[in-house]
A and B are shown apart, each in its own frame.
Chain A
Amino acid sequence: MKHVKTLTFAAGVSALLAAPAMAFQDEGTVRLGSTEPLTGPGAVYGQPTIIGKKIAIEEINAAGGIMIDGKKVKLDLFSEDDQAKPDQGVSIFRKLESSDDVLAITGTIYSRVSETMWGLLQKKLDDPNDTGLQVPAMSFLSMKAGVASISPWAFRNAGVECDQHEQLIDLVQEANGGAEFQSVVAALESNEAHSAAAWRVCYQGSLKKRNWDTKEYVEWFEQDTDFSVQVRRIRRAKPDLFILSSHYQANVGAMLEMARQGVTPKYMISHIGADAVEMIDLGGKAVEGVVFPSTAFFADPGVKSLLDEYSKRTGEWYMPAFTYLAYEGMYLMKHVFETAGIKNQPDTLAEDRRKVRDALASLKDWPNPMGLKLTMGATGDISRPYVYVTIKDGTFKLWWHPTKGYMNP
């Protein structure tokens, strides 16, 4: 009996040790890493993102999976929770790369965490002296300008932020009859990396290009609770263009105070941080009129099936654009895995990762689930058409569309 137990134990251990050899193509899966803040304060972004990913993966697998080397395999997501902490992100990134042997790593949300994780990557392609990690990495948000330029292995599908702001300023000027604004006022959420970079790298560049000075400039913090002093300054400047480089958490409080003090700029523009249902839930009428960029408007017919499924799972009527970006990202990975010529075997992992990187870097005119053609830029960012969304009558509405023009001016 003792021998039987010993043999059973030995067989079990052998099976466990042999498991990696059975992985990948032979077990009918292709491994994809994923990291988001699923708990902690960043979960507000991480949860809608992972839902977008899971919906796409379930659709892909239900349709048979991914065709690799003549065989359909299932997409197997190795999901981790980085809690929006850079140090945790680094550990997860290393684990996914070395222990989980994933083909590519998707995520994360916060620019500061993506920057830290991607700092592990090889900086110079094909440089034998550069011993950085060689695994394709792609974020579906991390909006901070220039984040994907960290490494030739890093990519992003959320678009180029400065392009969004440049285009939006052009559009509001056009909507203003082409006239210059008499009083441009800006507000910066100065303790938030994305907002600070958007202001310093994008908005300031756009204003300088037009020789526009801000008549008033104020700062606040993401967690601020009182905006009365800043808004008093804004009120005195009588802005006709108000730029908010700030997320919804502070936007709501500031805009409520603006309504209280009777500040009504002709145009109010914000970055993607205004893309949150809380703007309406908490801000009510005070936030009406703000315009912000988006990559996928939730009411677009191209995202309807995703919205329906997202609403079913969450009970939410609104779906943020980054849920779509994560969903799109999974289909992008499917496309790249299918076309890169990979073998999906343990001993070809390094070679496969390089093929996936090269396929991502050379992506051209890939038709995304909305039917738009996407191309990867030299900086690792996908250039894409943007829509601009406003809040009107208690809901989000398209303000400008690339083919339809101004819709709710």
Chain B
Amino acid sequence: MLDFAQNTLDGIMVGASYALLGLGFTLTFGVMRRLNLSYGPTIMMGVYAGAYVSLNVYGSLLLALAIAVAVSVIVGLVIEGVCFRAVQSDNPLASMVSAFAMWMVLEEIIILLTWGRLFPVQNPSGLSTFDIGPISVRGDYFALFVAAVVLMVGIYWLLFHTAFGRKVRAVGENRKSAQLVGIDVNRVSREIFVLTSAFGGFVAFFIAASLHQITPGFGLWATVKGLIVMILGGIGSVPGAVLGGLLLGIIELQAVWYIGASYRDLIAFALLFLFLVVRPRGLLGQGERSS
């Protein structure tokens, strides 16, 4: 029972970061009605840039974090321009394929510049842990969890209690109608890319710090986790992304303990498949809307 509780707590901690990755995908999809497959590599570029500066120029955690966020935003804007605004086709596949191609380009740039080397990322809380009764909690996971909760609350407030949020939701509901009532849809799209890239870069930096490293495989990892969370939670649903992330984190950790690490991904994908068949809208999704 104690192990079950420990796995659950660890799963919640890990799941909070999954939730934010899923949130990045779901917000972009909610507004663009297109899948941004280069989201993972975008935030990976940011973390690599931050880690590079920290390693070779000036070893400051805050500077590295600021650069990670800034570079993620810049790359995110390039992706928005190249893969979404420039690709005017009504077929969402066109943007998806374009974003996939950009994923490959970004990953190859990193590999060409670094030989595929892993870069160290400073972990502010080191290897510290603290206990809640018999349960052990990692200091860095707890910090990541708190940061994720604050960000999620902030994003929720932004979306549901501000004029910007109303525009975003209007564009997400119906792009053409939003345009008809005078909303600058392209501007909202750009702003959503800035927002998702910024918090993606922030979260990716803390995830990388918890691993003490950033690897060229991070983009793929973040993409897979984010997509699963988006589907589990329900495409376009902010609370759904949170629930999906926590669910995935808990199930993964329990699977590793009770079944074995080799089955963890298998179970995660089986769960995804199950949702797609039984509940394609996900936990809190609203189903298809017209664009």
Contacts and interface: CB of A to CB of B under 8 A. Distances in A.
A40 interface: yes
B260 interface: yes
A232 B117 CA distance: 29
Given A190-B261, A190-B262, A229 B112 contact: no
B127 A256 contact: yes
B221 interface: yes
A260 B10 CA distance: 14
Interface in B102-128: 108, 111-112, 115-118, 120, 127
A3 B136 CA distance: 88
Nearest to A40: B111
Interface in B196-216: 207, 211-213, 215-216
A224 B213 contact: no
A43 B257 contact: no
Given A43-B115, A229-B261, A278-B117, A249 B215 contact: yes
Among A40, A44, A226, A249: residue with most chain B CB under 10 A: A226
Nearest to B213: A282
A178 interface: no
Contact of B216 (A41, A229, A259): A41
Nearest to B224: A223
B7 A229 contact: yes
Given A40-B111, A278-B117, A225 B260 contact: no
Interface in A245-293: 249, 252-253, 256, 259-261, 278, 281-284, 286
Contact of B215 (A40, A223, A226): A223
Contacts of A261: 129, 136
A229 B129 contact: no
A39 B108 CA distance: 8
A39 B120 contact: no
Nearest to A187: B261
Nearest to A189: B261
B94 to A, nearest CB: 26
B129 A260 contact: yes
B6 interface: yes
Interface stretch (A92-100, A125-133, A213-221, A299-307): A213-221
A222 B14 CA distance: 18
A228 interface: yes
Nearest to B118: A278
**Chain A interface residue number, banded:** 20 to 34
Nearest to B256: A229
**Chain B interface residue number, banded:** 20 to 34
A223 B115 contact: no
Nearest to A41: B116
Contacts of B116: 40-44
A47 interface: yes
B111 A41 contact: yes
Contacts of B112: 39, 43
A249 B118 contact: yes
B59 interface: no
Contacts of A116: none
B217 interface: yes
A253 B111 CA distance: 21
Nearest to B136: A261
A230 interface: yes
Contacts of A40: 108, 111, 116
A251 to B, nearest CB: 11
B111 A232 contact: no
A374 B207 CA distance: 47
Contacts of B3: 232
Contact of A44 (B117, B261, B262, B265): B117
Nearest to A44: B116
List the 5 closest A-B pairs by CB distance, nearest first: A44-B116, A229-B256, A260-B127, A47-B115, A282-B213
18 contacts: A39-B111, A39-B112, A43-B112, A43-B116, A47-B115, A219-B260, A221-B265, A223-B215, A229-B257, A229-B261, A230-B261, A232-B6, A256-B127, A260-B129, A260-B138, A278-B118, A281-B118, A282-B213
Given A40-B108, A191-B262, A256-B127, 16 more contacts: A39-B108, A40-B111, A41-B217, A43-B111, A43-B115, A219-B260, A220-B261, A224-B261, A228-B253, A229-B257, A249-B118, A253-B211, A260-B129, A278-B118, A282-B213, A283-B212
